[in-house]
A and B are shown apart, each in its own frame.
Chain A
Amino acid sequence: MSITLSKPEQGTNADPAAPPRRRVRKPAGAGRRRPWLGLLYLAPGLLIYAVVVLYPVGQGVWLSFFHWNGITAATWAGFSNYSGFFQDPTLRAAGEHTLVFIVFFSVLPIALGLLTAALTTSKRVRAGGVFRAVVFIPQTLTPAVTAVVWKRIYAPDGPINDALTAVGLGHLAKGWLGEYTWALPALGLIGTWGAFGLCTLMFIAGMQSIPTELYDAARVDGAGPIREFFTVTLPGLRGPLAVVLTLTLVGAIRVFDIVWLTTRGGPGTSTVTPTIVLYERAFSNPDIGSAAAIGVILSVLALLVTLVIVKVAGERDR
């Protein structure tokens, strides 16, 4: 056991020269064997990971270099599936929609979450627990349920239009998901609604772990609540912020269910996303190579986003 426990020590040490220094205290030779013995312990997990994740990933990458209908012999495509990705007008539109979704799925919920968390933790809010539970509920619903509910809410005779009519704004009532201008933001708001609870909860948890002395110190230095937020609260939330950013950004890049279950990318192509195109190419009109290429590009994008966030958040930690 002591051997495995030494692994994390090694991991937390930033200096690559450190392990040999430590080895002095251990029997000779143990250190040399250590990484491989650790690997042995990791092997079962790694094996499953290789079979379930790495092998299919390799297969997916490989498939993206072919033209294949899923049954008959495939033909080599080289990089044409990838160059096709950047030339396809539908996919270009899909990429633009993803940018809009990033605003709705990531930027808005984080901004709103920060605001809500700041307001509810700075003062003792009555029934704060109930409030937190309520904002978190969307996170617990499956997208299929969310889609059905919101389809109803946005329907021409749905509650939003009823409310508008009731307050005398009937001229603003419209079939939200059927309008070329409104369908995309309407779907985006569903994402905001879904991610808002998670963001709020993460930030509240983060704020509660900020030592109160820091606030006291800031106040002694004459900081107001806004100054306090930017000099104490926000830097203290770097960890939760990185987590939430990663989750929501990746969520925005791969959004599929909400769109597929409501508008299927319509009206026209006004809400189409790369994942919708991927699904159609993989399952409805089999062009598996180009579907795989879309998948690879999205994965690389998600990986890059995650790496950048981890790097930025990690650097500031030091």
Chain B
Amino acid sequence: MERIPILKMGDYLLITIQVDMHDKLALTLQNDLTEQIVTYKSKGILIDISALEIVDSFIGRMLGIIASMSRLLDAETVVVGMQPAVAITLVELGLSMKGIRTALNVEKGMAVLRATLGEERQDGDSSPEF
């Protein structure tokens, strides 16, 4: 079965979307990702869309769903690598991608995750575990 690979990188999971997304593939990705977040106790997800030539409302919605699902499983999502032409088109399309964090590339996305999770960890040190 066709599926999008998910790479484990320390505390994070990296997904590189390189193929034209369709419904079945999106559902498979949601299943695979949520399982891996739980298995590896991942705290951060990076979704690299630099190979995507377009992002339509279907893919935008899928990214939003993945970010929401991940948040429920205590993981932060950062979408990285959006092409400039895609950003221009998304704004005209009316898709603001609210609630989805973005960074220019994987490296910067990792820095965003590190900063966010680092802060949370410091907060967590002072409060009791439950």
Q: Do A and B bind each other?
A: no
